[in-house]
Amino acid sequence: MKEESTAREARLIDGRQAASRLRAAIAAEVAQLGRDHGAVPGLAVVLVGADPASEVYVRAKGRAMREAGMESHEHRLPADTAQETLLALIDRLNADDRVHGILVQLPLPAQIDTQAVIQAISPDKDVDGFHVLNVGRLALGQQAFVPCTPRGCLMLLRQVLGDLTGKEAVVIGRSDIVGKPMAQLLLGQNCTVTLAHSRTRDLPAVCRRADILVAAVGRPEMVRADWIKPGATVIDVGINRIERDGTSRLTGDVDFAAARGIAGAITPVPGGVGPMTIACLLQNTLDAFRISRRRAAPCHPSSERKPS
């Protein structure tokens, strides 16, 4: 039978709006903390080299921090910075009481051992959630700093679907910063999780099982409409800069225009996951600030670790 001519379009998941609500709630809490304690949460962002995309993100993070009433301490180092120099900076930031969160923008130049740098960050200031202690805590289902991008994706999913129990979730991409922690979070929500990657056999068929499809690959419009189960919720993490019709623009890992006719709900790029990543960075920094205050008052009877 022929489809109706007015095919139903997927609900658009507005990441900008969700992020702006979260940022407003954080700003209100920060203002209250200032009134109660005269203290301001601070984030140190370290950028090595001058990658233009990284510059854009770092500027956006700084602006969002200041708008929420938080302090942003930006450290820009030349591309040829030695590893020891960066490690010495991390040591200083670990010891700095005004710095509650530390983010080292990735990727780092080739002469620097990324893991050595990440593991040098104090786990209590690791607002990216990349430190082995936070990765382990997340895997064990303990209180942990959760990487900002998957945390934001989960917030959007909860907003659209409510309880995720029993859903079939497929995550494409197994990176340490997106795919793996996303799979852990979905497992924590009682989804049945498949983590797909470049060696997955018959990826389209795997994707067609998904009630929830998260694409974090880095390949423009790789996910076609016929990979999507009708009515599925699609979260497009990909940020790919492409040339089209002579202009440069951003596109996700999903063929958005076609997928809209099949999916139940879908995030756009830009305006989907990206803004939530930044809002979650503010949330993680606020959580880190709270943890530092509990550390400062260890005798208080209610000083347990759980960020409320």
Ligand X SMILES: Nc1nc(=O)c2c([nH]1)NC[C@@H]1CN(c3ccc(C(=O)N[C@@H](CCC(=O)O)C(=O)O)cc3)C=[N+]21
Binding residues for NADP(+): 173-175, 239
Least CB distance to ligand NDP at residue 174 (A): 4
Helices 179-188 and 132-139: crossing angle in degrees, nearest 10, is 30
Q: Which is nearer to ligand X, 104 or 291 (CB)?
A: 104
Please answer whether residues 171 and 182 qualify as being in contact, where contact means their C-beta atoms are separated by less than 8 angstroms.
yes
Out of ligand NDP, ligand X, none, what residue 289 binds, judged by CB under 5 to 8 A for its kind, is none
Using rule CB under 6 A, residue 271 touches ligand X: yes
How many chain residues are in contact with ligand NDP, going by CB under 6 A?
24
Q: What are 203's two structure tokens?
A: 């990826």
In the complex, the smallest distance separating the C-beta of residue 203 from ligand NDP, rounded to whole angstroms, is: 6
Binding residues, as ranges, are 173-175, 239
In the numeric block, which tokens belong to residue 149? 């991008």
Structure tokens at 191: 């989804």
Residue nearest to ligand X (CB): 274
Would you please indicate which residues are annotated as catalytic (active-site) residues? 61, 105, 128
105 binds, among ligand X, ligand NDP, none (CB under 5 to 8 A by kind): ligand X
**Structural tokens at position 303:** 């000083």
d(CA 241, CA 259): 19
- 8 A C-beta contact, residue 296 and residue 290: no
Q: Which is nearer to ligand X, 58 or 210 (CB)?
A: 58
How far is C-alpha 116 from the geometric centre of its chain's CA atoms?
A: 21
For position 190 contacting ligand NDP by CB under 6 A, the verdict is no
- SS3 state at 294: helix
The owner of tokens 């998260």 is 214
Stretch that binds ligand NDP, among 41-49, 68-76, 183-191, 217-225 (CB under 6 A): 217-225
Instruction: Return the structure tokens found at 16.
Output: 């900008």
Residues that bind ligand NDP (CB under 6 A): 149, 172-175, 177-179, 197-200, 203, 216-219, 237-240, 273-274, 277
